[in-house]
Amino acid sequence: MEFFFTKDEKDLAHAIGKVADDLNFETYVVGGFVRDRLINRQSKDIDVVCVGDGIQLAQAVAEKLEIKQKVVVFKRFGTAMIKHHSIELEFVGARKESYSADSRKPNVSPGSLDDDQKRRDFTINALAVCLNLERFGELVDPFEGMTDLKNGIIRTPLDPDKTFSDDPLRMMRAARFATQLNYKITDETFAGIKRNAHRLKIISAERITDELNKIILSKMPSIGFKYLSEAGLLNIFFPEFEKLRGVDIINDIAHKDNFYHTLKVLDNLCEVSDDLWHRWAAILHDIAKPPTKRFSETSGWTFHGHEVVGARMVPKLFKRFKLPLDHKMKYVQKLVRLHLRPISLTNEDITDSAMRRLLFDAGEDIDDLMMLCNADITSKNSNKVKRIKANYEIVKQKLVEVEENDKIRNWQPPINGELIMSTFGIGPSRAVGTIKDQIREAILDGIIPNQYEAAYDFMIEKGKELGMKVSS
């Protein structure tokens, strides 16, 4: 069969093939671009392999296409990159690899196309399409990758023990491709992952997190998390999540399996949000349930304070995963800390004061918090779900009404510390903080309206109670 290129891609491929012919290099498009095109998936990155010098080919192609940007060369890896319109092209010479037991960095030497295809992670990524004009568009498929694409199969081209031991990150990639493509990892390949799971320990946190984030950003991340858990990989790099797994039973009283509950919450949230950090909040919302789990004869199973303990765990986890420790981490921490608040309001009479406090604490993230809480409704009891969702809608409506009346979202009290100090002729002190707190609490409790005049009069009153006089 001849591989299908769009018109623009075909013009580009012909140009590369012509240059390759002039250099007498066998040249192929390989990997993800070929795979994605065959399954009608978008791809803008093209990997080009030549039996020859990849850097020399890239420079000659850039000259032929009159690309003005400088060719980006990675001499150490023997690769070069150029950008042509919206397409990124990476060139490399065909190679064979050998590995030492303590590193995923291979010893590389020039090789044939066959050598290069053998070093690929999976059969569906080992497909190659010839660009030389005499064989243009010819598909080279030595490991029946086309059959695996049709059958939705993830399988290694060589013995899985060799593939995964050589580069253990491929085990994470197997889970990632299975998740993104909704493919099945073959039993033999999965058994190889389980046997080599311990090898993941030589992989850096950055590499693991990169693959994990791609799983999290997929349509249904639970697929990948289940593979990672069942293969023994999750316990290596994310034991806190693995500890959510399982059900304890005492006196015939059981709690739900928080591993599967969390995955259900994550999948639910993915239906309405594609934000990575929002999804991380779903992953971590119950992360502290194992350390806070208690059983009593009167209350059964409880997880008191898991939202507070979980929020404290977020910075440590982000640091270990090499995730950003900036506003993104604080956003996740906030949602973990507050995730019980909206649902708890559905179990009681909803007061304006409670709504103001929730709006104040959540600020601009209130909508994301409400989406997370809605995703957190996963009970198998349909009547319970119906009741909670009905109350949840009441809470949402009440939040809208309170926000319209009191403008609490992203709110700052109308009286600041400088005004308090100038009014009473004092410097920075505990009294300033006390009055500020009293004004904030009075507004949130509805004792005074969220207006400057009312807050000013309240400040004067509280200052007098503290024995302070208005400065003349």
Domain at 36, CATH number? 3.30.460.10
Range of the domain at 108: 7-151
Could you give the CA distance from residue 153 to residue 30 in angstroms, rounded to a whole number?
18
Could you give the CA distance from residue 313 to residue 310 in angstroms, rounded to a whole number?
5
Residue 12 is predicted with a pLDDT of 92
111 domain-assigned: yes
Residue 436 is predicted with a pLDDT of 87
The pLDDT of 153-158, averaged and rounded, is 96
With a cut of 90, say whether residue 190 has pLDDT above it. Answer: yes
Residue 385 is predicted with a pLDDT of 79
| Count of the separate structural domains present in the chain | 2
The pLDDT of 320-342, averaged and rounded, is 96
Phi, psi of 50 (to 5 degrees): -125, 150
Indicate the residue among 99, 129, 151 that finishes a domain: 151
Phi, psi of 336 (to 5 degrees): -65, -45
424 domain-assigned: yes
470 domain-assigned: no
Q: 9 pLDDT band (50/70/90 cuts)?
A: confident
Q: Which two tokens stand for residue 175?
A: 């889970």
Could you give the CA distance from residue 58 to residue 16 in angstroms, rounded to a whole number?
9
106 domain-assigned: yes
With a cut of 90, say whether residue 80 has pLDDT above it. Answer: yes
460 domain-assigned: yes
The pLDDT of 62-73, averaged and rounded, is 89
With a cut of 70, say whether residue 346 has pLDDT above it. Answer: no
* Cβ-based burial of 110 (10 A; exposed 0-12, middle 13-18, buried ≥19): middle
Residue 217 is predicted with a pLDDT of 98
With a cut of 90, say whether residue 207 has pLDDT above it. Answer: yes
Could you give the CA distance from residue 352 to residue 398 in angstroms, rounded to a whole number?
8
Q: Which residues contact 333 (CB under 8 A, 6 or more apart)?
A: 311, 314, 315
Indicate the residue among 151, 178, 199 that finishes a domain: 151
Indicate the residue among 151, 177, 207 that finishes a domain: 151
Could you give the CA distance from residue 392 to residue 394 in angstroms, rounded to a whole number?
5
* Cβ-based burial of 59 (10 A; exposed 0-12, middle 13-18, buried ≥19): middle
Residue 70 is predicted with a pLDDT of 87
406 domain-assigned: no
Q: Which of 39-43, 226-230, 291-295 has the lowest mean pLDDT?
A: 39-43
143 domain-assigned: yes
Residue 334 is predicted with a pLDDT of 97
Q: Which of 39-53, 314-328, 343-357 has the lowest mean pLDDT?
A: 343-357
pTM score of the predicted model:
0.86
Length of the chain as a residue count: 472
The pLDDT of 178-207, averaged and rounded, is 97
For 40-77, the DSSP string reads T----EEEEEEES-HHHHHHHHHHHTT--SPPEEETTT
Question: Which residues make beta-bridge pairs with 361?
Answer: none
Residue 98 is predicted with a pLDDT of 64
Q: Which two tokens stand for residue 23?
A: 């250099």
With a cut of 70, say whether residue 99 has pLDDT above it. Answer: no
| pLDDT tens profile 415-464 | 888 889 988 888 888 888 899 889 888 888 888 888 888 888 888 988 88
324 domain-assigned: no
Residue 252 is predicted with a pLDDT of 84
| pLDDT tens profile 365-391 | 999 999 999 999 887 777 877 877 887
Which sign does the torsion angle of CA 139, 105, 172, 213 carry? negative
Going by the DSSP 8-state scheme, the letter that residue 450 receives in this structure is S
